[in-house]
Structure 1
Amino acid sequence: MTPTGQMVEAVVIGGGLYGCTIASYLAQERGLRRVLLIEKEPRLLGRGSHNNQARVHNGYHYPRSFTTAYRSRINFNRFVQDWPGAVKRDFTKLYAIARRNSRVTARQFERFCHEIGAKIKPADRSLHALFEKRLIEEVFVVEEYAFDTTCLAHWAQQELARTGVHVRLGTRVLSISRVDGGLQVLLEQQDGQPAELIGCQYVFNCTYSGLNQFAGDFPGTQTGLKQEVTEMALIQAPAVLKDLGITVMDGPFFSMMPFPSRGLHTLSHVRYTPHFSWADQPDTDPYAQLENYAQSTRFDRMARDVARYLPAIADSQYVDSLFEIKTVLLKNEGDDGRPILFEKHPALPGCFSILGGKIDNVYDVLEKLGTEEFRNIPENQ
């Protein structure tokens, strides 16, 4: 625990994979001795890091954003190497190109994969037979994996303990302010205890959808954000699809991926997964929007459309849905790019806001942090 009023060197707000990785990096690689990670949920990696498709991207998903695809290719091998126990490889991943309404043809997709150096080969007849040939131009076998958030959360707990990072769970940061000698964060009052102030030199805002939900002197991000309430359906896949991951693209189509932490598959659909969206505003708490939303599943609509392309999906069993807030940069809505957001706030020297659109983007963040200079607080402070 950090006593009230004590000075730490860095406060990391947000206990997803990004926040945990950054906190560990600051302590181990940058020599910051007193790092405090604050997470408002009761456990680490319990929100955005968990409530997603659990895909370890290898570039295939972004034929209209070469930079994002190429960065995924670079980061893919690093992710697999760093977290081998969390990576599920024992399935066949297929990408199928639709004959109509796709923004890329099969030939264009194959050429794109060769350009970024991603493995690709035509699927055999038995795999082709799973699809409605009148609607699917070509099917490819690719190299793409899924990750188990439960394993990543276990790693995070051990890593933070090993590197000496203090962790506060179930704690919400209300404000970030500038004070003489550095920064100050205000923590929400809990269990009848007074609100707590923590002084620090650096603040790393890794709150994903909550990036702009702080009072005090925090100015908000300069980059515009879009918030979406999304649904990831969890299904028991029929036997014929159990060992597969499938993406039909590129347009108003769908993906079905193994979801290792539940032993199920996710089903997402470009049209039905987003339930509603809005431009991010400081006075509109995205998590409150999600909590107040009815969260009625659209699985039936997803399944009906998917079955036109992949008939066997009609035999799947709906189990549950993961509803979550998805945050994207407004400037990338048109090209599907998923660059990181990495902003330093001149009005709050030492404060950084960080957002990644994919799990493997964390390496892009570490590269950016590697160019920053950090100073230690003397031991007697």
Structure 2
Amino acid sequence: MSETDFDAVIIGGGFYGCAIAIYLAKNRGFKRVLLVERESSLLLRASYNNQARVHNGYHYPRSFTTAYRSRLNLPKFVRDWPEAVNQEFTKLYAISRRNSKVTAKQFVRFCTDIGAEIQTADPAMRKLFEPRLIEDVYLVKEYAFNSTLIANKARLELLESGVDLLLDTQVASISKATSGELSIAICDTGGERKVLSSRYIFNCSYSGINQLKGDFPGVKTELKQEITEMALMKMPAPLADLGITVMDGPFFSLMPFPAKGLHTLSHVRYTPHLQWRDEPGISPYEKLSDYPRISQVDRMVRDVSRYLPSLSKAQYVESLFEVKTILMKNESDDGRPILFEKYEDLPRCFSILGGKIDNIYDVLEKLDAEHLD
């Protein structure tokens, strides 16, 4: 038995970090697994501050691979996290007559190609939309997730799997130890610093993925960071049991947000507030902390109400601000592949990032193919 402290250390207690820690303990036989999270609880950052959408492919007509993988992964997510999946709403996709990158005919053909259920919405639902601006409206099959319930289940599974958990703790650096293992410098909120050793490290810190010092070389894939705003709204009666997305271009989505019993409202133009190229030393956490967080919800509501008049009666409650991390190579096609990197100069260290919650199964497939001692 090695004298290392852990078989694996996972950095980041979001959904990906939790799922990977559970996978290593349950599926790969790792006995000493540590999950380190900088916040006071699990799934408090990007895993919470988002649309809470379980994708089924419809959102990606310009990226067949992303769409098709969502179609394959949705039933797996429903199987594994059933208590956290909300299916009790009607989901509509509408195609704009102007400025859309797909027509209604193209959208239907795309859904057929990926095997996604779609049918023309009934007249009552179509009446919700301004017909001069909307070409067609479709009833689809898409779900929402409750991140609070996912966090509760993840915490129980980590405990049952014997995974150790360190909260309120930051990882400062990763270095090669003289023993051939990896050393991890950590610091808690009280300022106490420790150095741990591990055979494997999985860097799942999302927006902080590039902010580790020591021998960590930085991720090879170019990343963009965005400060985004999700407006939480109480919907008027006609929209209360609906999720709606208008496609495909500078448009919007409203989705149930089960963790608070509200809806998120997001807009392609107004949800992003501030953007920058990700680089080591530019802390996304500090950027977000210093940002004034002035809501653009009025602009969202004003534009969305042109397409969906009843939204003008929605009540604004609050906004969720977060840093969103995007692979720059996929900005043009809106694809959302996973980032999965290994490093020759830092063996047994992996960096992992995904843009959607269902992408976790793409990560687990990658890990299945890895020879992990």
Match of 1:281 in 2: 279
Residues of 2 paired with 1:192 and 1:373: CA distance? Answer: 37
Q: Which residue among 333, 336, 339 is the counterpart of 1:335?
A: 333
Structure 2: distance between partners of 1:29 and 1:116: 30
- Which residue type is aligned with residue 20 of structure 2? I
Structure 2 alignment gaps of length 5 or more:
none
Three-state SS of the structure 1 residue aligned to 2:38 is coil
What does residue 230 of structure 1 align with?
228
Q: Bigger CA drift: 356-365 or 178-187?
A: 178-187
Three-state SS of the structure 2 residue aligned to 1:41 is: coil
Aligned mate of 1:94, from 92, 95, 102: 92
* 2:181 counterpart residue number: 182
Counterpart-to-counterpart distance in 2, 1:306 and 1:101: 14
Task: Determine helix, strand or coil for the equivalent of 2:216.
Answer: coil
Is the CA contact 2:57–2:70 (under 8 Å) kept in the aligned structure 1? Answer: yes
Q: Deviations over 1:144-199 (max 9, x none)?
A: 00000011001110000000000000000000001122100001154363x10000
2:45 partner letter: R
Counterpart position of 1:42: 40
Instruction: Give the number of equivalent residue pairs.
Output: 370
User: What TM-score do the two structures reach when normalised by structure 2?
Assistant: 0.98
- Residue 60 (structure 2) pairs with residue 62 (structure 1): yes
- The equivalent position to 1:312 in structure 2, one of 301, 310, 313, is 310
AA aligned to 1:271 is: R
Question: What residue identity is the alignment partner of 1:211?
Answer: I
User: What corresponds to 1:81 in structure 2?
Assistant: 79
Give, in whole Å, the separation in 1 of the partners of 2:261 and 2:29.
39
CA offset digits 1:94-149 (Å, max 9, x no partner): 00000000000000000000000000000000000000000000000000000000
Q: 1:160 aligns with which of 158, 163, 170?
A: 158
**Residues 128 and 12 (structure 1), Cα distance of their counterparts in 2 relative to 1, 3 Å cut:** same
Q: 1:296 aligns with which of 285, 294, 297?
A: 294
Does 2:143 correspond to 1:145? yes
Which whole-Å CA distance do the structure 2 matches of 1:345 and 1:228 have between them? 26
User: Whole-Å Cα distance in 2 between the matches of residues 241 and 189 of structure 1?
Assistant: 45
Q: What SS does the aligned partner of 1:159 have?
A: helix
The structural deviation recorded for 1:374 is 1.4
Letter in 2 for 1:316: A
Shift of 1:363: 0.4
- The CA RMSD measured in Å over matched residues stands at 0.9
Q: Equivalent of 1:348, from 317, 333, 346?
A: 346
What's the secondary structure of 1:172's corresponding residue? strand
- What is the percentage of aligned positions where both structures have the same residue? 62
Letter in 2 for 1:191: G
Q: Quick one: which amino acid aligns to residue 86 of structure 1? A: A
> What's 2:249 paired with?
251
Q: Give the distance between the partners of 1:328 and 1:210, measured in 2 at CA.
A: 12
Rounded Cα–Cα distance in structure 2 between residues aligned with 1:32 and 1:61 = 37
> CA offsets, 1:31-71, max 9 Å, x none?
11100000000000110100000000000000000000000
Q: Displaced runs of 4+ in structure 1, greater than 2 A?
A: 189-193
Q: Distance in 2 between matches of 1:128 and 1:29?
A: 47
SS in structure 2 of the partner of residue 184 of structure 1: strand
The 1-side partners of 2:212 and 2:246 are apart by 39
Structure-1 separation of matches of 2:181 and 2:347: 8
**Counterpart residue type for residue 184 of structure 1:** S
Contact 2:227–2:274 (8 Å) recurs in 1: yes
Rounded Cα–Cα distance in structure 1 between residues aligned with 2:55 and 2:307: 23
Paired AA for residue 142 in structure 1: V
Partner of residue 103, structure 1: 101
- Name the structure 2 match of 1:378: none
Aligned equivalents of 1:273, 1:192: Cα separation in 2? 35
Q: Render the CA deviation track for 1:240-265: whole Å, top value 9, x for unaligned.
A: 10000000010000000000000000
Give 1:337's aligned amino acid: G
Deviation, structure 1 residue 7: 1.5
Q: How far did 1:346 drift? A: 1.0
Q: Aligned in 2, Cα 1:331/1:316: closer, same or farther, shift over 3 Å?
A: same
Alpha-carbon distance in 1 for matches of 2:24, 2:83: 24
In the other structure, the counterpart of 1:364 is 362
Match of 2:199, SS state, is strand
Amino acid paired to 1:334: S
Does the CA-based 8 Å contact 2:4-2:199 persist in structure 1?
no
Once the two structures are TM-superposed, the CA of residue 208 in structure 1 deviates from its matched residue by: 0.3
Write the deviation string for residues 304-354 of structure 1: whole angstroms up to 9, x where unpaired.
Answer: 000000000000000000000000000000000000000001110000000
